[in-house]
Amino acid sequence: MHKSASESDTDRRIYKSKQALKGSLLEWMSRKPLDSITITDIVKSADLNRSTFYKHYVYKEDLLREILTDVINDLIAAYRAPYEHYHDFEIKDLNASAIKIFDHVLVNSSFYTLLIHSHMPMGFRDTLYETLITLYLQDLTDISPDPRIDKELLACYQANAVLGLITGWVQSNFKYSSTYMAEQLLEFTRMNRSNEVYRSNLALAHDHKPGLPI
């Protein structure tokens, strides 16, 4: 069912207002603690009024949680980009251009800068870490497994490795391009695991969606 022009305009206005509020909150959080930030601070910087804020949120913490949800959803899409349309793929055949996680970090640089410099609740980093672990464990099946490797521990290792690279990149004030970071991640991965072959567990879902490449 298609939306009318007025419904689409309303959706765009809501999206624009929410993005302004989110950007304003992140900007304020770079200056002072969340507890010291008021709703008035947020709406003034967003060039909106308090009634607009309360149409969508009750507390500033609700706004912050929605920011985290946005980041997590975008992180999931970025992580899955290299394999979401494939049944099987080999590490040695991966291309750095397919790795989108650093593009994701760059788009959400304000969030990650605050996260790395401890201006976000500690639980936010834990949520990112747990998301990366879950994606690896649920999405990918190693079809050339080494019996000596514990998959759950490997997932922890990989999640920490990715977060470590993100942390170093942010701390360098994004010294390198996202393309360079993707190339380096791929090279690090290939150092010890170039012969690994994986099956994407997303493939079953795509089998039922006509038009998607397999």
> Each residue's pLDDT tens digit in the chain (214 positions)?
566 656 677 789 999 999 999 999 999 999 999 999 999 999 999 999 999 999 999 999 999 999 999 999 999 999 999 988 888 888 888 889 999 999 999 999 999 999 999 899 989 999 999 999 999 999 988 878 888 999 999 999 999 999 999 999 999 999 999 999 999 999 998 887 767 788 888 865 555 444 333 2
Write the burial class of residue 177 (CB in 10 Å: 0-12 exposed, 13-18 middle, 19+ buried). Answer: exposed
Do residues 89 and 33 share a domain?
Answer: no
Do residues 170 and 67 share a domain?
Answer: yes
Do residues 65 and 145 share a domain?
Answer: yes
Instruction: With residue 158 as reference, give the H or E element that holds it.
Output: helix 151-171
Do residues 154 and 122 share a domain?
Answer: yes
The answer to whether residue 46 sits within a structural domain is yes
Do residues 174 and 96 share a domain?
Answer: yes
Do residues 160 and 96 share a domain?
Answer: yes
Do residues 85 and 186 share a domain?
Answer: yes
The answer to whether residue 214 sits within a structural domain is no
The contacts of residue 94 (CB under 8 Å, 6+ apart) are 82, 186, 189
The contacts of residue 38 (CB under 8 Å, 6+ apart) are none
Provide the domain count of the chain.
2
Find the CATH number of the domain harbouring 27.
Answer: 1.10.10.60
Do residues 149 and 52 share a domain?
Answer: no
The answer to whether residue 212 sits within a structural domain is no
The answer to whether residue 213 sits within a structural domain is no
Identify the domain boundary among 10, 34, 58: 58
Do residues 75 and 38 share a domain?
Answer: no
- Give the C-alpha separation, 204 to 87, whole Å: 8
Do residues 45 and 64 share a domain?
Answer: no
The answer to whether residue 195 sits within a structural domain is yes
Do residues 76 and 32 share a domain?
Answer: no
Q: How confident is the model at residue 11, as a pLDDT?
A: 85
Identify the domain boundary among 58, 82, 99: 58
Domain hosting residue 124, numbered range: 59-207
Identify the domain boundary among 9, 27, 58: 58
Q: How confident is the model at residue 189, as a pLDDT?
A: 86
Find the CATH number of the domain harbouring 144.
Answer: 1.10.357
Do residues 193 and 113 share a domain?
Answer: yes
